[in-house]
Amino acid sequence: MSEISDGPSEAVFKIYPAASVKGKDLLLDGIGHKYGVKAKYPNSVTWICTARRGKTSASDTKTSKNPSYKPKAKRSAIQPAALLGPSQNATRFFCKEVFVGDGTKRRRHLIFATENKKKISESSYTMLFSIHGFINKNSELKQIPLVFVFMTTRRSVDYSAILEEISSWLESPYSVQEIVSDYERAMWAGIKKWKTELKRKNPELNIKHSGCAFHLNQAFHRGFKELKLPKNERENRTVRKWVRRLQCLHLLPGDFITPVFELIQKKVLSSLNPFLDYIEKVWIRSKILKPEFWTSFRKAIRTNNDAEGWHLRINRRGRCFKLGFMELTILLHKEATFIPIQASLLSQGMLKRTQKKITKLRQNKIFKEWAAFEKSDKTTDDAHQLLIKTADIYIRKEKS
C-alpha cells in the first residue's frame, strides 16, 4: 500500500509572470491558493485571492523574476499559558464554568472573578456580562468590576444559574442589598428567580432590584420619536415640557407614580396620547417592570452609567471586537489587578469619582425638593408639584 502525502504544510510563495487568463502575474503559495495583482506600489505589491475575498500583501524586495514571498498575515493564534509572563498568568482568575440545559440545548458560561470577589471576543461566547460594586473610603465612592462572565446565550435560566453559582462562593450570600441594571427582560426574570430561591432559604431577605434611570429615559425618548410628529410639534415648548415631565416620573415615590401619571393624562395634549399609551402599557401596568422597580426616589446612584462607561472603555481597548478569547481574558485580568491599587489611592485621597460640577449642583437641588416633599402632606397634588420642580431642574440644565 502506498502512502498518501498530505502535501507541503507551509506556504512557499512564487510569482508566475503573465500566467493569468488576462496575461497578468500570478502568485501561488504551493498549497493550493492562487492570488492576482490588486495594486502595485513603488516598494510593494498587493495581491488578492482569485477564489475568495481574502487577501495577502507581500513586499517586493528581490530583483529576480520569480522571488519568494512571506505573507504578513495578522497573528491570531492563542498564546500558550506557558509563554505568558507571571503578571499575565490568569489561572487563578478563572473560577467556574456553569452549564444550563441538556442535550443540544446545553449551554456553557465561564465565570471569572477578581480577588475581591454589548461582544468583544470573536468566539462562541456572545456577551460579556459583568457585575460591579462600589468601594467607599473616606466618603469617596469608586466603582470597580467584581465578576466577569462569558455567556453563550442570554436567557433567564442562564442569568439565574450564574447568580446562584456566584452567591454560593460568598460566606453570606444575603449580604447583597441592592441591584441596579438595565431593563433586559431575561435579566429581570433571572434575577427574580434567583431572589425567590434565596428568600425561600431566608424569609427575612430583602434584596432590592431597581432599573437604571438613564436607560428609562432612553426608552421614553425612543417611544416619543416613534410618534413621528411634525417638526413644528416636536419643537413646541408645551410638548417638550410634558415629555420632560414624563421622563422625570422616576424621581417620584413609587406609590405616587401611577396617580400622577393619571393626572397628567387628563391635562396633556391629544397629540401625545399614543406616547401616553406606550408608557401606560409598558411601564405603568406592566407585571414585570412595575413603577416600584424603576423609581429613583431619594437615591443618590440612579444609573449604572459607571458600569456602562467601563464597558465602553474595554470595547475601545478591545479594538472594536477584534480581540481573541485569551487576549480578552488577559485584558480583564489586568483590570482585576488594578483594584487593590485603586482602593489604596482612594483611601489616601488621591483618587476620586469623576463627576461634573453641574451634576453635583443638580443632585443637591433634587435632594432638597425630595426633603421638602417628605415634610408635606404627601398628597397626589404634592407629588405632582414635586414632578414639576424636578423636571424644571433638568429643563434649566438644557437651557444653560
If asked whether residues 49 and 197 sit together in one domain, one would say no
Beta bridge partners of 208: 178
Nearest to 152 by CA among 142, 167, 162: 162
If asked whether residues 42 and 168 sit together in one domain, one would say no
The most confident of the ranges 107-116, 117-126, 127-136, 335-344 is 127-136
Domain annotation covers residue 5: no
If asked whether residues 288 and 183 sit together in one domain, one would say no
More confident position, 65 or 145: 145
Would you state the torsion angle of the CA atoms of residues 357, 146, 82, 74, taken in this order, to the nearest 10 degrees? -50
Question: pLDDT tens-digit profile of 251-284?
Answer: 999 999 999 999 999 988 888 889 999 999 999 9
If asked whether residues 86 and 185 sit together in one domain, one would say yes
If asked whether residues 138 and 234 sit together in one domain, one would say no
Grid coordinates representing 82? 506557558
Average pLDDT, the chain: 78
If asked whether residues 173 and 94 sit together in one domain, one would say yes
Domain annotation covers residue 198: yes
Domain annotation covers residue 110: yes
**pLDDT of 64 over the 50 cut:** no
CA angle 185, 186, 191 (to 5 degrees): 100
If asked whether residues 97 and 180 sit together in one domain, one would say yes
Nearest to 390 by CA among 257, 221, 211, 237: 257
Beta bridge partners of 272: none
If asked whether residues 224 and 286 sit together in one domain, one would say yes
Residues contacting 74, CB < 8 A, separation 6+: none
**pLDDT of 167 over the 90 cut:** no
Task: Please state the domain count of the chain.
Answer: 3
Domain annotation covers residue 68: no
**pLDDT of 366 over the 80 cut:** yes
Q: How confident is the model at residue 395 (pLDDT cuts 50, 70, 90)?
A: low
If asked whether residues 296 and 311 sit together in one domain, one would say no
If asked whether residues 245 and 323 sit together in one domain, one would say no
Q: How confident is the model at residue 7 (pLDDT cuts 50, 70, 90)?
A: very low
Grid coordinates representing 76? 491570531
Q: Give the range of the structural domain holding residue 202, as residue numbers without chain letter.
A: 81-212+303-337
Question: pLDDT tens-digit profile of 209-239?
Answer: 999 999 999 999 999 988 888 888 888 888 8
If asked whether residues 23 and 92 sit together in one domain, one would say no
